[in-house]
Amino acid sequence: MLSDSCKDDEKKKCLIGNSKEDYDNQLNLPINRGIPDDTYAESERFFPEWNWDEIYSYGPQVRRLPWFTNDLDSDLREELNSRNIRGGEFLDIGTGPATQAIQLSKLGFEVTATDISLRAIMRARTLSQDVKFITDDILDSRLSKDGYLFDYIFDRGCFHTLNPKYRSQYVTQVKKLMARRAFFFLKTFSSKQPPGPGPYRFSVDMIREYFSKELMLLCSKETVYEGTFRVLPRALFVVMTRND
Ligand SMILES: C[S@@+](CC[C@H](N)C(=O)[O-])C[C@H]1O[C@@H](n2cnc3c(N)ncnc32)[C@H](O)[C@@H]1O
């Protein structure tokens, strides 16, 4: 049952979609440009065509990635404050530029941050010695095989890039990594973001459908995805806990 306890946020930013050109120009990344436009718009393969390792080999350009922000995600910050969450073991899944993991560590959490990209992890290790950075595929996680359990898990932008056929595998893995009373914070593009390039979009109902076998939705909010775009994409922020 969804109890909408997430605080409403005043959106100061304009919420119109970004064009494919905005995406391409800003990214300047190793996207397979051979994909025809119609496929590109709704493609399952848009993200799998991205080579994550290549993306993170661009050094200083990492700061130009659409999802790059130095600050801790404002919805997560708000949620941690309103729940009075101050410390514990945090896992950041798909840490990429590592900014979220580093900010969480500065707040006093014991942070482990994983990414499928070795380059992202090697880069991240040069940024902080306080975070445990590990190369790991969340769909076949070594951490869960080794029995790691976390009090809090954050996914800002990993789940929404996965091929849909792996979603249930993802949910199973996340649950395995959650301690008994753990919270899972998930940020994805929202179904209110107009169709176009970029990751998959989700409504609350879709999230419930994918996760409800293993996790219970505590609250959700329509928000924006902070990053480097002039116009911030619409996003969904969801808080979940184990359902057993
Ligand atoms: C959109 S980026 C978001 C990065 C970061 N969370 C942030 O907010 O800045 C998605 C990240 O997920 C990582 N990723 C994609 N598939 C993954 C997988 N199967 N396991 C772990 N990480 C993955 C990518 O390498 C990338 O860094």
174-177: long-range contacts, CB 8 A cutoff, minimum separation 24: 174/93, 174/138, 174/214, 174/215, 175/214, 175/215, 175/242, 176/141, 176/144, 177/91, 177/141, 177/143, 177/144, 177/148, 177/149, 177/150, 177/153
SS (H, E, C) 82-129: HCCCCCCEEEEECCCCCHHHHHHHHCCCEEEEEECCHHHHHHHHCCCC
Distance from the alpha carbon of residue 67 to the mean position of ligand 1, in angstroms: 10
Low-confidence stretches of the chain (pLDDT < 50) are: 1-46
- Atom number, ligand 1, closest to the C-alpha of residue 53: 25
Pocket test for ligand 1, best of 63, 115, 153, 173 (most atoms within 8 A of CB): 115
Q: What is the pLDDT of residue 9?
A: 36
The predicted model scores a pTM of 0.85
- Atom number, ligand 1, closest to the C-alpha of residue 68: 9
What is the C-alpha separation between 240 and 219, in angstroms, rounded?
7
DSSP class of 196: S
User: Measuring CA to CA, which residue among 242, 244, 174, 159 is closest to residue 206?
Assistant: 159
User: Measuring CA to CA, which residue among 220, 207, 177 is closest to residue 91?
Assistant: 177
Q: What is the pLDDT of residue 183?
A: 98
Ligand 1 contacts (CB < 6 A) are: 52, 67, 94-97, 99-100, 114-117, 120, 137-139, 156-158, 161
> What's phi and psi for 81, nearest 5 deg?
-65, -45
Distance from the alpha carbon of residue 4 to the mean position of ligand 1, in angstroms: 27
- Among protein residues, the one with the nearest Cα to ligand 1's atom 14 is 94
Q: Is 223 left (phi over 0), alpha (psi -120 to 50) or beta?
A: beta
SS (H, E, C) 24-59: HHHHCCCCCCCCCHHHHHHCCCCCCCCCHHHHHHHH
Distance from the alpha carbon of residue 92 to the mean position of ligand 1, in angstroms: 9
First to last CA, the chain: 14
- Atom number, ligand 1, closest to the C-alpha of residue 137: 20
Q: What is the pLDDT of residue 47?
A: 53
Q: What is the pLDDT of residue 31?
A: 37
Q: What is the pLDDT of residue 80?
A: 98
> What's phi and psi for 170, nearest 5 deg?
-60, -45
What is the CATH T-level fold of the domain 20-242, as seen in this structure? Rossmann fold (3.40.50)
Q: What is the pLDDT of residue 195?
A: 85
- Among protein residues, the one with the nearest Cα to ligand 1's atom 8 is 156
- Among protein residues, the one with the nearest Cα to ligand 1's atom 11 is 94
- Among protein residues, the one with the nearest Cα to ligand 1's atom 27 is 96
pLDDT, one tens digit per residue, over 206-229 is: 999 999 999 999 999 999 999 998
